[in-house]
Chains A and B, each alone.
Chain A
């Protein structure tokens, strides 16, 4: 069940410039969470009201801990990056539907930039159920993060915007080059990348599950801020608007229109 609670920062580490990793001890939220879900974190600065939705990078159910890896994008995430071990923070979660991994088909995990973190827990889940795993990661340049950790889970292909590491180009270019044309795509990243993957999946008749993001207020499906156009009239809105926070953030590539 979703709840708002106080959690404790266990550790904070800078991975690269502007990207941080934080482990949090929760009171039951981690035990109920799974890959692809997110939590909302409240700032302590009361002039900033809305919680920041951040995807879960790792879930340690046994110890009731969560790891988030996030980019400092504004004043809210800047505040988070200053938290130290022992600090108490308010969080809401677990939120969203998350990934449902089908282990009977090859698992193709694709992520770009700050979309990489949720792929870690998805890779762990896929490995636990014995799936064949290929991981495709896109970064701006050779300043990567989580890359070494992801190598534990399967074959990793890298693309960089500037060509300083791996394939020079996008994750789609890397997939074409490596002929990754079978299995189910589970992805997270910027909208243009997801749009490209939707088309890629269509081209090779692959299934795709894409994790979207949008500005949110409530995070629980009430405010209707974070909607995405759906191909069919859905059974909540009746107007082809799915709620990313509640109906998603993970959608089949077939059910949404960018």
Chain B
């Protein structure tokens, strides 16, 4: 039975990755799961310098999901390379580093710094809804997304995966734009912009007013967008958005994803990733699937 998949020349032992921001850099979750069992660890967004993030409250629960407005708090690329990437050298898993910035030069700087590290893949976050400058603008205007991709590709030593926002009119257009810019893959969906009001206190639930919605409730939207993106481009698609189980992962793969990420589910069940890996194997046995690659995009 083969569970390995290939993303832009990088082989993952299985299609289960984690969604950036939900797993730190793996250290906290290594108390619960064996990171060696994962296809890849995807790290929390990192910028050229430390970012303080947003004021609290940064999260709130909504029906079937949550809103977050962490604001990409991160310790900066120096600490990240020395501490977090160094720690991940202890594991037999691939590492995808999520990169954030306020401007093209900031993305480029981080990507350059990662050139000689153990990062296997780069995920460029052009879709965070919680930072006022950069992030989301890069991810909602196709020509700008293409430009960011092109500039990053010029200096990147690793394959470049562009992380797309669902807060757009056409996800297919966005995927095509970054493909034209030279992207080696796309990942989607980032969170959907949402809002919650505490009616008893007449206040926004989040200090940032708006936040990114994630969790099981967004899954049908994510499946639809993965399907549309996979049909629009030739580069591989990494699917995410509400995946909690192995069966959810299979659904995304049938829609066209080559690999998938588990995000919010980690907060609900710290063992979610490894349980999904096991569930995929059970599903393959039950359905007589020899090679996981058979199911990618099998539903037309």
- Are the CB atoms of B75 and A223 closer together than 8 Å? no
CB<8 Å pairs between A and B, sample of 12: A50-B66, A215-B56, A217-B68, A218-B22, A221-B24, A223-B68, A223-B267, A224-B73, A225-B68, A237-B73, A238-B76, A239-B51
Any A CB within 8 A of the CB of B168:
no
Contacts of B44 in A (CB 8 A): 224
Contacts of B297 in A (CB 8 A): none
**Size class of the contact patch on chain A:** 20 to 34
Any B CB within 8 A of the CB of A151:
no
Any B CB within 8 A of the CB of A241:
yes
Contacts of A46 in B (CB 8 A): 64
The smallest beta-carbon distance between B131 and chain A, in angstroms, is: 14
Other A-B pairs beyond A218-B270, A228-B56, 6, CB < 8 Å: A4-B269, A49-B66, A223-B22, A236-B75, A239-B50, A241-B52
Indicate whether A238 sits within 8 Å of B50 (C-beta atoms), given known contacts A4-B270, A214-B57: yes
Name the CB-closest residue of B to A220: B28
Indicate whether A4 sits within 8 Å of B73 (C-beta atoms), given known contacts A49-B216, A218-B267: no
Any A CB within 8 A of the CB of B23:
yes
- Are the CB atoms of B79 and A238 closer together than 8 Å? yes
Any B CB within 8 A of the CB of A254:
no
Contacts of B61 in A (CB 8 A): 48-50
Contact pick for A226, options B31, B32, B56, CB 8 Å: B56
- Are the CB atoms of A222 and B29 closer together than 8 Å? yes
Question: Interface code B13-54, partner A: CB below 8 Å = 1, 0 otherwise?
Answer: 000000001111000110110000000000010000011110
Residue numbers of B with Cβ under 8 A of A are 21-24, 28-29, 31-32, 44, 50-53, 56-61, 63-66, 68, 70, 73, 75-76, 79, 215-216, 264, 266-271
The smallest beta-carbon distance between A169 and chain B, in angstroms, is: 24
Contacts of A238 in B (CB 8 A): 50, 75-76, 79
Name the CB-closest residue of A to B59: A225
Contact pick for B32, options A2, A47, A216, A239, CB 8 Å: A2
Q: Which of B23, B51, B63, B267 lies at the interface centre, i.e. has the most chain A CB atoms within 10 A of its CB?
A: B267
- Are the CB atoms of A222 and B59 closer together than 8 Å? no
Contact pick for B28, options A48, A218, A226, CB 8 Å: A218
How many residue pairs, one in A and one in B, have C-beta atoms under 8 Å apart?
Answer: 105
Contacts of A241 in B (CB 8 A): 52-53, 73
Q: Which of A12-51 contact B (CB under 8 A)?
A: 42, 46-51
Whole-angstrom CA separation of A237 from B265 in the bound complex: 23
Any B CB within 8 A of the CB of A195:
no
Residue numbers of A with Cβ under 8 A of B are 1-4, 42, 46-51, 92, 214-228, 236-241, 246
Contacts of B73 in A (CB 8 A): 224, 227, 237, 239, 241
The smallest beta-carbon distance between B55 and chain A, in angstroms, is: 9
Contacts of B66 in A (CB 8 A): 49-50, 217
- Are the CB atoms of A1 and B56 closer together than 8 Å? no
Name the CB-closest residue of B to A234: B75
Name the CB-closest residue of A to B65: A49
The smallest beta-carbon distance between B141 and chain A, in angstroms, is: 28
Contact pick for A49, options B22, B51, B58, B267, CB 8 Å: B267
Contacts of A1 in B (CB 8 A): 31
The smallest beta-carbon distance between A166 and chain B, in angstroms, is: 29
Contacts of A218 in B (CB 8 A): 22, 28, 266-267, 270
Whole-angstrom CA separation of A214 from B31 in the bound complex: 23
Contacts of B76 in A (CB 8 A): 238
Contacts of A217 in B (CB 8 A): 59, 66, 68, 264, 267
The smallest beta-carbon distance between A249 and chain B, in angstroms, is: 14
- Are the CB atoms of A49 and B23 closer together than 8 Å? no
Whole-angstrom CA separation of A222 from B64 in the bound complex: 21
Contacts of B269 in A (CB 8 A): 4
Whole-angstrom CA separation of A246 from B31 in the bound complex: 13
Whole-angstrom CA separation of A95 from B118 in the bound complex: 32
Contacts of A224 in B (CB 8 A): 44, 53, 58, 70, 73
- Are the CB atoms of B79 and A214 closer together than 8 Å? no
Whole-angstrom CA separation of A92 from B268 in the bound complex: 10
Whole-angstrom CA separation of A221 from B25 in the bound complex: 11
- Are the CB atoms of B60 and A239 closer together than 8 Å? no
Contacts of A92 in B (CB 8 A): 270
- Please give me the 5 A-B residue pairs with the lowest Cβ-Cβ distance, nearest first: A222-B24, A238-B75, A222-B28, A225-B59, A217-B267
Name the CB-closest residue of B to A40: B267
- Are the CB atoms of B52 and A240 closer together than 8 Å? yes
- Are the CB atoms of B56 and A227 closer together than 8 Å? yes
Name the CB-closest residue of B to A226: B56
- Are the CB atoms of A237 and B56 closer together than 8 Å? no
Name the CB-closest residue of B to A216: B59
Whole-angstrom CA separation of A223 from B61 in the bound complex: 14
Whole-angstrom CA separation of A51 from B52 in the bound complex: 26
Contact pick for A223, options B31, B56, B59, B216, CB 8 Å: B59
Name the CB-closest residue of B to A217: B267
Whole-angstrom CA separation of A222 from B65 in the bound complex: 18
